[in-house]
């Protein structure tokens, strides 16, 4: 498919088009966090708060989803509300699913990290803020359960600002997989890989960068050299909202036992585990989830602004 006929499938909001045409910063946002990451109405409230956070820091939000047979970059409040009310009945969409969901004209498809990256790249958006990326699941040496997010990061040119990989995953194997895919992992003001609810793990990042300008320079260098693939920018959850590592480990282990007992596998694992962990922690993990997404949106907006500023600098 060429860029010329993408318009048959791609619906970009007027606000996002105007921003891109005027070389203003735009930040992509995923919709799976609305449908599968949180219960209603917190999911809708959080999605709108994240969009407000992006605007507050000088960028334009582009929440991404597949609705009524079109790939949307930039949703209305009514569309976000519809996804939130649909909840886990929305179709969770990754790369393999996109052509099929387009055929279902009345469907709601919420986009994972992988699908959001793809649609963002189609629309010309270079920065994407999310909660945590998918990764290699615990026990993957026998189940082979590895998120398509990781292979997408190896091929699609979008920078992903996240709080690391979700704590429910095998962080060590996720790091190894990203290295194999040639994906650089940047620690934003940190030397260690964060794990979603907690600020630290036993794993290092590839490089530490401390300012949006430095991150933007690296992204620009990568693009200028035509090095295909994304960049992971890991931002630890703000300290005031971080969970205790011992408490989280216990909650995750209990949730994993319950998941195995119920025989839950595949794309249903993450929403089940997040919901179960929220239940075990008395809702504390949900509040942490909300705060880390808001923080990631702020940092992503600052990086997007720096990217635009650098692109407007006179050459030579």
In the chain, where are the structural domains located? 3-311
**pTM listed for this prediction:** 0.91
Q: Is 128 in contact with 27 (CB distance < 8 Å)? A: yes
Q: Which two tokens stand for residue 20?
A: 């891109």
Q: Supply the pLDDT for residue 1.
A: 42
User: Which residues have CB under 8 Å from 57's CB, separation 6+?
Assistant: 297, 298, 301, 302, 305
Q: Which of 53, 92, 166, 298 is catalytic?
A: 166
Please report how many Cα atoms fall inside a 13 Å half-sphere around the Cα of residue 121, on the Cβ side: 20
- Is 166 annotated in the active site? yes
Whose CA is closest to 286, among 235, 248, 231?
A: 248
Q: Supply the pLDDT for residue 148.
A: 92
Distance CA 182, CA 185 (A): 9
Count CB-CB contacts under 10 A for residue 238. 14
Q: Supply the pLDDT for residue 5.
A: 67
CATH 3.40.1790.10 fits 3-311, yes or no: yes
pLDDT by residue for the chain (316 residues), tens only, comes to: 444 467 789 999 999 999 999 999 999 999 999 998 888 999 999 999 999 999 999 999 999 999 999 999 999 999 999 999 999 999 999 999 999 999 988 899 999 999 999 999 999 999 999 999 988 877 777 777 888 999 999 999 999 999 998 777 888 999 999 999 999 999 999 999 998 888 988 899 999 999 999 999 999 999 999 999 999 999 999 999 998 888 888 888 888 889 888 888 777 777 788 788 888 888 788 889 899 999 999 999 999 999 999 887 765 5
Residue 69 buriedness (CB in 10 A; 0-12 / 13-18 / 19+): middle
| Residue for token pair 């025989």 | 263
- Is 30 annotated in the active site? yes
Q: Where are the alpha helices (DSSP H) in 57-164?
A: 77-86, 98-103, 113-123, 140-143, 148-153
Strands 207-209 and 231-234: unpaired
Count CB-CB contacts under 10 A for residue 262. 11
The angle at the Cα of 166, spanning 158 to 150, to the nearest 5 degrees, equals: 40
Q: Is 118 in contact with 151 (CB distance < 8 Å)? A: no
């Amino acid at each position: 498919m060429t860029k010329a006929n993408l318009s048959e499938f791609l619906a970009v909001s007027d606000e996002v088009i105007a921003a891109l045409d005027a070389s203003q910063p735009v930040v992509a946002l995923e919709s799976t966090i609305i449908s599968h990451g949180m219960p209603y109405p917190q999911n809708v409230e959080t999605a709108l708060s994240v969009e407000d956070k992006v605007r507050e820091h000088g960028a334009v939000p582009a929440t991404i989803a597949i609705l009524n047979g079109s790939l949307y970059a930039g949703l209305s409040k009514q569309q976000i509300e519809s996804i939130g009310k649909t909840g886990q009945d929305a179709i969770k969409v990754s790369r393999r699913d996109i052509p099929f969901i387009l055929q279902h004209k009345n469907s709601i498809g919420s986009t994972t990290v992988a699908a959001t990256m793809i649609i963002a790249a189609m629309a010309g958006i270079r920065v994407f803020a999310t909660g945590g990326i998918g990764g290699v699941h615990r026990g993957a040496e026998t189940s082979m359960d590895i998120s398509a997010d990781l292979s997408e990061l190896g091929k699609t040119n979008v920078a992903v600002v996240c709080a690391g990989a979700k704590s429910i995953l095998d962080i060590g194997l996720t790091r190894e997989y990203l290295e194999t895919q040639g994906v650089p992992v940047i620690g934003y003001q940190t030397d260690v890989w964060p794990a979603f609810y907690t600020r630290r793990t036993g794993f290092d990042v590839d490089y530490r960068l401390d300012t949006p300008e430095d991150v933007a320079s690296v992204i620009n260098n990568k693009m200028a050299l035509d090095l295909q693939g994304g960049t992971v920018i890991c931002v630890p959850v703000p300290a005031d909202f971080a969970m205790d590592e011992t408490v989280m480990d216990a909650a995750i282990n209990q949730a994993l036992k319950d998941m195995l007992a119920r025989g839950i596998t595949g794309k249903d694992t993450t929403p089940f585990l997040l919901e179960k962990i929220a239940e075990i922690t008395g809702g504390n993990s949900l509040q942490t989830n909300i705060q880390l997404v808001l923080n990631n949106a702020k940092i992503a907006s600052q990086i997007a602004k720096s990217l635009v500023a650098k692109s407007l600098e006179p050459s030579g």
